Every structure is written in C-alpha cells, then in structure tokens.
C-alpha cells in the first residue's frame, strides 16, 4: 500500500509512514498572482491529504485541492516534497510516531469557489504570493510557496522576453 507502513522505531514506539499530496493553486488577479490557502483551526497552510490505495500522487493532489479549497485547477508543474515527524495516539491509546512526506504540485486555477470547501477546513482565502508566504504557519510550506513564486516569475520573464520586438540596427 502506498499511503502508510508501520515499523518499530529505535525507541520501540511504532512508526507509521504516510504519503500525501497537495498543491499551490494560483490565479492572476489584476496585476498580481494570488494563491489559495486553507485555515484549519488557527493555522494557515496548503491543501494536502493522504494518498488513497491505487491513487496517483497527481490524482491525490487534484482531489485534495478540490475538496479542501472548493477550487479546480490544472497541474502545471511538480514543485517539491517536504517531510516531517509528529506523534498521535493510536487506537489502543499508545503514542505513534508519524513520518509524513507530502508532494506538492503547482496548479493553474480553472474554476470553483472558495466557499465550497469541505468541513475539514475552517476557511479558504486568496492571498497575494507575498502575503501567502507571511501567512503560512509552517516554514516548509512557506518554502513551497516561495518555489511556486519563483517558478511563476521565471515563466513570466520567459514569456515577456519572447514578446519583445527584436532590435534590428
């Protein structure tokens, strides 16, 4: 199964490995580029969720972005992946260590409404890239948004240079 595996850590506590996928969905708004962030309780972040059995990373990202933001987009690039550890209580009340890897993709917004997010999320809001980098609660996700901004800036610069008239002296 792709989504999780159990093993015993050196300390004897079980470790579960989880694979998730998500995305940075962007739109052009006036002269700016905006990204949609989700808020769960008091933390702002990127939409993401666990890969279901038989599901590809890209299909998971598409599903999670749609469910958690109410938005649909087209994947335009793979951004990067992040890893982190956390603990939670298992079914028997024991502490379980979770090792999580999340793959992120860049999405171009196609359609949808942020008010149509699922109940796992308290709020979805569009932010400028600069605001999003400040708003995100997790440093690793902040780096993902910075990579998205750099990729979009590079793409925009390439498009601008191809639109410039040639200088023929």
Q: 48 exposed, middle or buried (CB, 10 Å; 0-12, 13-18, 19+)?
A: buried
pLDDT at 24: 98
Please give the full DSSP string across 91-105, using - where no structure is assigned.
Answer: TTS-EEEEEEEEEEE
Q: Is 127 helix (H, G, I), strand (E, B) or coil?
A: strand
What pLDDT shows up at residue 2?
A: 45
- In total, the chain counts a number of residues equal to 169
In 3D space, the residue among 139, 113, 119 whose CA is nearest the CA of residue 46 turns out to be 139
Q: Going from the N-terminus, what domains does the chain have, and what CATH number goes with each?
A: 4-161 (3.90.79.10)
Residue 13 has a pLDDT of: 75
Determine the Cα angle at 18 with ends 137 and 46, to 5°: 25
Per-residue pLDDT tens, the chain, 169 aa: give them: 344 555 554 456 789 999 999 999 999 988 889 999 999 999 999 999 999 999 999 999 999 999 999 999 999 999 999 999 999 888 888 899 999 999 999 999 999 999 999 999 999 999 999 999 999 999 999 999 999 999 999 887 777 665 555 555 4
């Amino acid at each position: 199964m792709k989504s999780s595996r159990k093993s015993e850590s050196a300390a004897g506590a079980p470790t579960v490995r989880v694979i998730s996928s998500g995305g940075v969905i962007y739109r052009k708004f006036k002269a700016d580029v905006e990204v949609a962030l989700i808020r769960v309780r008091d933390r702002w972040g990127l939409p993401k969720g666990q890969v279901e059995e038989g599901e590809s990373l890209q299909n998971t990202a598409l599903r999670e972005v749609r469910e958690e933001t109410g938005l649909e987009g087209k994947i335009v690039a793979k951004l990067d992946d992040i890893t982190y550890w956390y603990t939670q209580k298992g079914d028997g009340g024991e502490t379980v260590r979770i090792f999580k890897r999340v793959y992120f993709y860049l999405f171009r917004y196609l359609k949808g409404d942020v008010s149509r997010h699922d109940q796992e999320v308290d709020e979805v809001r569009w932010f400028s890239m600069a605001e999003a980098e400040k708003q995100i609660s997790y440093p690793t996700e902040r780096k993902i948004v910075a990579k998205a901004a750099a990729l979009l800036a590079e793409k925009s610069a390439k498009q601008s240079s191809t639109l410039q008239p040639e200088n023929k002296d």
